[in-house]
Structure 1
Amino acid sequence: MRTTQDTFHLAVPALDLDEAFAFYVTGLGCKLARRYGDRITLDFFGDQVVCHLSEKIDQEPELYPRHFGVTFHDREDWERLLRLARLRTLRFFAEPFHRFEGTAEEHRSFVLADPSNNLLEFKYYDDPRMMY
């Protein structure tokens, strides 16, 4: 069973590691853990994302079914990241939107696209029981 000491790991393709660094570290504020000639490893909000150098990227990404991100427990954290993304002029794939209004699953979301067209969704549920 996973504990708080364990880390979720996700690997994504990156056309250019300098661009990936600029987006994830300089833009989003992720911490660089390691850098090699063919990848960068990041502390992505407490989990591990590895950007592997690759020419196999999605030229025309669609949000469903492939994306990843963070579901925030506190709305203030979600809003803080949204302000940061705007301030640092990160590329929005989808501007902030509201889903399932009036239901238990109601949440706010926005989607960023990294330089290699990986889509990152950040959301906040009004009812924290709906996070999973």
Structure 2
Amino acid sequence: MTRPRFHLAFAVDDLPAARQFYGDLLGCREGRSSETWVDFDFFDHQIVAHLAPQECGSVNTGAVDGKQVPVRHFGLLLDWADWEALAGRLREAGQDFIIEPYVRFAGEAGEQGTFFVRDPAGNALEFKTFRDEAHVFAG
């Protein structure tokens, strides 16, 4: 059986900027595209950036572990070494973090490394990692 993958469509206000962020910075291979959308291979999942400037810019947040986390966001769970490497690559590229890489819920079930960034259209992305994958859904 093939491993399930997610498909996510989201709004951007500038396709060349989306191509630079997702393609050049994050290393996502580009798939099909048109003048109004582009598919990316987001770490083996399909995401589609649709040109819809009027839908960009939501900044609502909610409190999690003493930080203001963007309510609307998507992202990935990575292996710890891959998470650290991505955080390092983003720092080297001068990417601003909404929330800098840190360990959340330290010493508790669900302990995780996490960080948040925004793409050029303002979409929030979270990248996280767990020392113990059995704790991904720990309560």
Q: How does the TM-score come out when normalised to structure 2?
A: 0.85
Distance (Å, rounded) in 2 between the aligned partners of 1:61 and 1:85: 24
Match of 2:77 in 1: 71
Deviations 1:67-126 (A, max 9, x none): 110111x21111111111112222311111221111111111011100011100001112
1:119 matches 2:117: no
Aligned to 1:15: 13
Matches within 5 A, 1:65-104: 65-72=71-78, 74-104=79-109
Q: CA RMSD in A?
A: 1.6
Structure 1: tracts of 5 or more residues without a match: none
Question: Contact between 1:91 and 1:114, CA under 8 Å: does it hold in 2?
Answer: no
> d(CA) in 2 for partners of 1:92 and 1:58?
16
| Larger RCO (CA within 8 A; separation ≥ 6) | 1
Q: Residue 94 of structure 2 aligns to a residue in which SS?
A: coil
Q: Which runs of 5+ in 2 are unaligned?
A: 62-68
Runs of 4+ in 1 over 6 A off after TM superposition: none
Q: TM-score, normalised by structure 1?
A: 0.90
